Chains A and B, each alone.
Chain A
Amino acid sequence: MTSALGRVPLFEGVSEESMERLVAVTGEMEFEPGQFVVLQGQVGTGLYVIVGGSVRVVRGTEEIARLGPNDFFGELSVIDQMPRNASVQAIEPTRCLALASWDLLDLLESDAKLSLNLIRGLAARVRGQGELHHH
C-alpha cells in the first residue's frame, strides 16, 4: 500500500515516517457502480484517494467533475468540518483508500509537507472553480 500512496501527488515528498503512519491508519474500501462514496450535506469523516476506477462529483443534479486513479476528494469537510458540498458516486467498480478525519488532522499537524501539498491542491481547485465560473 505504501507504493500506491507514494504515487499520489498529495503525498509527494512526505517523510517516510509520516508515510508509515499514514499506511497504518489508512483503510481500503470498494464501491459498486452507482454507489455513493460521500453524500452532499453530510458531515465529512474522511478523505478518499482513488486507487482504481472512477467517480463523478455531483452538486445538486449537476455533474461538476470526474475523478480517476490518484485523485483525492473529501478533504474540504475534514479541514473546515462543514457538511460535504457535493456528492461523489462511483461510475464503475472503484477502489479507494480512506483516511479518517482525526488521523489526517494529526498528520497535518506533524508534517508540514503534507499541509503544503494539500494547500496547493485546494488552491488549484479554487482556480479551477474560478475558470469554470467564467464560462
Chain B
Amino acid sequence: MALSPQELVDTLAGLSLFADLSRPQLEQVAHKMTEESYPVGQRILRQGFTGTGFYVILDGEVAVRIDGDERARLQKGDFFGEMSILLGEPPVADVVTTRQLHVLHLGGPELEGFLRDHPPIMYRMLKTVAMRLRNASQLRS
C-alpha cells in the first residue's frame, strides 16, 4: 500500500509536525524517511530494549503500554520513538499496533541531523514534548 511520491507529499502536508514546511522541504522529508507497514498486534518499540527509530504515523493506530498498562493511543500525525533516541536510553514503553499501521520511519542515528536540517520540525516537536510534560505533571497532581 505504498503511496506514490506525490500522494506521500500530500499526506505529509496535512500532518501538523510538518505544517511549516514548503513543498520542496516535504519532498526532502519524504525522500529521507522510509515508508513501512505493520499488521495488528505488532510490537514496534519494546520497553527496556535498545534498537529504535523515529516513527510518524500516516495511518492506523498504536497503543503505548508501560508494564502492560495502556497509557495512550496514537494516530495519524502522531509520532513516537524520539524520546529514547534523544536521551540515548531504551524506550520506557511498548508501542503495539492496534490497527494496521502505515508509518514513516527514520533510523535513530539520523534523527539529530534531520532535526538540525529542519528547525520548524524541531520546534513542533519541542511543543509536543512540552505538552507531554504538562500532561505528565497533571497526572501527578
Contacts and interface: CB of A to CB of B under 8 A. Distances in A.
Contacts, number: 82
22 contacts: A64-B140, A80-B127, A80-B130, A85-B134, A86-B137, A109-B123, A112-B115, A116-B86, A119-B129, A120-B86, A120-B87, A122-B133, A123-B83, A123-B86, A126-B83, A126-B133, A127-B83, A129-B139, A130-B92, A130-B136, A133-B136, A133-B139
B73 interface: no
B70 interface: no
B137 A85 contact: yes
A109 B131 contact: no
A58 to B, nearest CB: 11
For the residues of B in contact with A, the DSSP-based class is: helix
Contacts of B129: 119, 122-123, 126
A125 to B, nearest CB: 5
For the residues of A in contact with B, the DSSP-based class is: helix
Nearest to A80: B130
A45 B139 CA distance: 25
Contacts of B126: 79, 108, 115, 118-119, 122
Contacts of A79: 126-127, 130
Contacts of A75: 130
B119 interface: yes
Interface residues of B, number: 28
Nearest to B139: A133
B112 interface: yes
**Closest A-B pairs by Cβ, 7 of them:** A129-B136, A112-B116, A79-B130, A122-B129, A115-B122, A123-B83, A80-B130
A62 B132 contact: no
Given A79-B127, A116-B86, 5 more contacts: A59-B141, A112-B122, A118-B126, A120-B86, A123-B82
Interface string A93-135: 0000000000000001100110110111011111101101100
Nearest to A86: B137
A113 B112 CA distance: 9
Nearest to B117: A112
Interface string A74-96: 01100110100110000000000
A94 to B, nearest CB: 23
A115 B128 CA distance: 13
